[in-house]
């Protein structure tokens, strides 16, 4: 009798165990979720990849039910559009400030609002930056990854070689022109190079130049905006480029460089000065292993008038609208962990900085505040002991940038406005007899048509 009772107890225990383990297993498998996330740009160094993977491992340790699949990612207008159409973007991807709102209005980005409101730090965001990721209905459709101001990057070694003082970079466009000429004459390398590729980088940099002289590319907002590409400042900027290209001969011989190409050329010591976002040092290290000793950063010279300003932009992290709620929740956790927490949590900021330093990745690259100014200063103080970028070489920028007026990119049909300007820049740099006025009028008509169509 006793043995029967024991047998029954054992049987019940085994049965309960099996049921419990099955239930636990099914719960575990039900909660498991995999998301793909934008990682580094193709061609990044092994150290950069190692650092990224370390962050993924840390995240997966923190959220054991989430598996993160990193996907190489670089935003360019044509590749983004193709991936968007094909539905092959990762779950979490990055978009520039210029595109997020329209993509959100078109239903091409997931609504993050419910998850956003649960973030403990959601009230600390810089309102202007957060507006870039808010659609017409007031829904949050993207969260900021980083904000930049356009800046002048220069090669200190070439400055020295040309007999110029690398600690005193140019502060006017006239000086840029003069220094570029000297660098070309003394070193044989192009003194000033500009992105002039047909992938809209040409238009982006020309707009930066025009802003710095006091001009604007459009007036008004939305489809009612008026294109003003053919303003006197654009003509002035183009004439200056023409002189540098054809009279001074200080811009080199190749005029089809895009964002990556010019970074590569700069890291290889082939460029005296160029304009790009203030945070580009990260890419110079991650993809091209730039020698920190040659790197210099300063502000873009502004003309002495009330409207002159520096173009500012940035990148946002967004989620595909095709995900389910579990994936969306996991994606938001990743966005918070990877993009936002290092700026609002001391623990995460220090851990992140330590991982970056251990993998020889830059800490302390100049960027504009995503959160309020108090939070910005606080976050900077947390990582101060770990800063490994040549801050001394960036002083001209850091001392000057907060005194400059920051102007956002053209609001209406930004990429189309840049696209219309591409051909003008290309023409000025490849055809000495370009009729600037005529080309600008054509570009203006093209941009106006795009604005009216909302494309």
Partner 1 sequence: MTLTTVDQAREPALPSKRGLSRSYARPRRTPLNWVRGGGLAAFLFLLPLLFVFGAFSWYPIVRTAIMAFQHTNLVEAPTWVGFQNFAAVWHDPLFPVAVRNTAYFAFLALIFGYPIPLVAAVLMSEVRKRRGLYSVLAFLPVVIPPVVGVLLWKTFYDASSLGVFNTILHWVGLGPYPWLQSQQWAMPSLVLYSTWANAGATIIIYLAALIGVNPELYEAASVDGAGLLRKVWHITLPQIRGVLLVTLILQIIGTAQVFLEPYLFTDGGPVHSTLTVMLLIYNYAFGNSLGGNYGMATALSLMLAGFLVVFSLVYLRATRSWSTR
**Residue 330 and residue 350: Cα distance in Å, rounded?**
23
Among residues 36, 39, 55, 422, the one that binds partner 1 under rule CB under 8 A: 422
Contact 430, 415 (CB under 8 A): no
- Residues 287, 78, 327, 116: is their CA dihedral positive or negative? positive
Contact 260, 249 (CB under 8 A): no
427 binds partner 1 (CB under 8 A): yes
Q: Residue 99 CB, nearest distance to partner 1 (Å)?
A: 6
Nearer to partner 1, 138 or 188 (CB): 188
Nearest to 209, CA basis, from 176, 185, 246: 176
| Phi-psi group of 226: left, alpha or beta (phi > 0 → left; psi -120 to 50 → alpha; rest → beta) | beta
Contact 248, 241 (CB under 8 A): no
Among residues 58, 248, 256, 452, the one that binds partner 1 under rule CB under 8 A: 256
Contact 366, 312 (CB under 8 A): no
| 325 three-state secondary structure | helix
CA atoms within 13 A of residue 455's CA, in its CB half-sphere: 9
**Considering only residues 264-323, where is the footprint of partner 1 by CB under 8 A?**
321
Listed ranges 149-157, 193-201, 298-306, 337-345: which one lies at the site for partner 1 (CB under 8 A): 193-201
Nearest to 267, CA basis, from 251, 249, 286: 286
Nearer to partner 1, 237 or 252 (CB): 252
**315 DSSP β-pair partners:** 96, 146
25 binds partner 1 (CB under 8 A): no
* Contact string (CB under 8 A) for partner 1, positions 26-65, x = contact: ----------------------------------------
Number of residues that bind partner 1 (CB under 8 A): 38
Among residues 26, 247, 437, 455, the one that binds partner 1 under rule CB under 8 A: 455
Listed ranges 45-53, 64-72, 160-168, 192-200: which one lies at the site for partner 1 (CB under 8 A): 192-200
Contact 299, 208 (CB under 8 A): no
Would you give the DSSP letter of residue 248?
S
* Contact string (CB under 8 A) for partner 1, positions 340-359, x = contact: --------------------
Nearer to partner 1, 318 or 344 (CB): 318
**What are the residue ranges of helices labelled H in 164-222?**
173-187, 201-213
Among residues 27, 293, 430, 435, the one that binds partner 1 under rule CB under 8 A: 430
Among residues 426, 440, 443, 444, the one that binds partner 1 under rule CB under 8 A: 426
Nearer to partner 1, 76 or 388 (CB): 76
Listed ranges 282-290, 349-357, 374-382, 424-432: which one lies at the site for partner 1 (CB under 8 A): 424-432
Nearest to 246, CA basis, from 235, 255, 259: 255
Nearer to partner 1, 323 or 350 (CB): 323
CA atoms within 13 A of residue 385's CA, in its CB half-sphere: 7
Nearer to partner 1, 167 or 435 (CB): 435
Listed ranges 161-169, 191-199, 293-301, 393-401: which one lies at the site for partner 1 (CB under 8 A): 191-199
Contacts of 156 (CB under 8 A, 6+ apart): 166, 293, 294, 295, 296, 393
Nearer to partner 1, 241 or 285 (CB): 241
Q: Residue 184 CB, nearest distance to partner 1 (Å)?
A: 12
The alpha carbon torsion through 338, 343, 349, 353 (nearest 10 deg) reads: 80
Buried b (16+ CB within 10 A) or exposed e, 15-38: eeeeeeeeeeeeeeeeeebebbbb
Q: Residue 101 CB, nearest distance to partner 1 (Å)?
A: 10
**Considering only residues 402-421, where is the footprint of partner 1 by CB under 8 A?**
415-416, 419
User: Tokens at residue 64, please?
Assistant: 């054991």
**Considering only residues 58-117, where is the footprint of partner 1 by CB under 8 A?**
75, 77-82, 84-85, 95-96, 99, 102-103, 106-108
Contacts of 164 (CB under 8 A, 6+ apart): 179, 182, 183
Nearer to partner 1, 229 or 310 (CB): 229
438 binds partner 1 (CB under 8 A): no
Nearer to partner 1, 80 or 233 (CB): 80
Q: Residue 336 CB, nearest distance to partner 1 (Å)?
A: 26
- Residues 377, 382, 385, 386: is their CA dihedral positive or negative? negative
Question: Which positions lie near partner 1, rule CB under 8 A?
Answer: 75, 77-82, 84-85, 95-96, 99, 102-103, 106-108, 197-199, 252-256, 321, 415-416, 419, 422-423, 426-427, 429-431, 442, 455
């Amino acid at each position: 009798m006793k043995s029967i009772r024991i047998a029954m107890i054992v049987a019940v225990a085994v049965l309960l165990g099996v049921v419990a383990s099955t239930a636990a297993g099914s719960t575990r498998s039900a909660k498991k979720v995999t998301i793909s996330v934008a990682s580094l740009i193709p061609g990044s160094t092994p150290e950069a990849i190692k650092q990224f993977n370390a962050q993924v491992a840390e995240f997966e340790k923190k959220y054991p039910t989430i598996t993160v699949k990193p996907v190489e990612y670089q935003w360019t207008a044509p590749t983004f559009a193709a991936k968007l159409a094909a539905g092959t973007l990762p779950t979490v991807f990055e978009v520039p400030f210029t595109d997020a709102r329209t993509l959100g209005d078109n239903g091409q980005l997931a609504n993050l609002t419910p998850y956003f409101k649960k973030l403990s730090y959601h009230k600390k965001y810089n309102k202007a930056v957060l507006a870039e990721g808010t659609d017409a209905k007031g829904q949050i459709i993207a969260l900021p990854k980083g904000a930049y101001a356009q800046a002048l990057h220069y090669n200190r070694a070439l400055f020295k070689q040309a007999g110029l003082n690398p600690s005193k970079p140019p502060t006017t466009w006239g000086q840029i022109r003069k220094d570029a000429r000297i660098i070309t004459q003394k070193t044989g390398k192009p003194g000033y190079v500009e992105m002039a590729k047909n992938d809209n980088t040409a238009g982006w940099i020309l707009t930066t130049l025009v802003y710095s002289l006091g001009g604007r590319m459009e007036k008004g907002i939305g489809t009612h905006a008026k294109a003003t590409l053919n303003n006197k400042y654009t003509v002035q900027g183009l004439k200056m480029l023409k002189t540098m290209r054809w009279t001074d001969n200080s811009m080199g011989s190749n005029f089809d460089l895009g964002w990556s190409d010019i970074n590569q050329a700069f890291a290889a010591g082939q460029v005296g000065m160029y304009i790009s976002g203030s945070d580009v040092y990260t890419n110079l290290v991650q993809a091209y292993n730039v020698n920190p000793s040659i790197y210099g950063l300063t502000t873009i010279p502004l003309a002495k008038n009330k409207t002159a300003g520096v173009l500012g932009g940035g990148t946002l992290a967004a989620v595909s609208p095709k995900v389910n709620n579990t994936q969306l929740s996991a994606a938001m956790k990743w966005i918070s962990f990877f993009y936002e927490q290092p700026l609002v949590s001391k623990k995460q900021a220090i851990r992140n900085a330590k991982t970056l330093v251990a993998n020889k990745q830059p800490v302390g690259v100049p960027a504009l505040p995503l959160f309020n100014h108090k939070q910005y200063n606080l976050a900077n103080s947390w990582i101060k002991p770990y800063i490994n970028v040549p801050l001394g070489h960036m002083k001209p920028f850091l001392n000057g940038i907060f005194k400059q007026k920051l102007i956002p990119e053209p609001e209406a049909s930004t990429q189309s406005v840049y696209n219309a300007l591409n051909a003008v820049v290309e023409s000025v740099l490849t055809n000495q007899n370009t009729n600037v006025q005529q080309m600008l009028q054509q570009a203006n008509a093209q941009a106006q048509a795009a604005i009216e169509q909302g494309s």
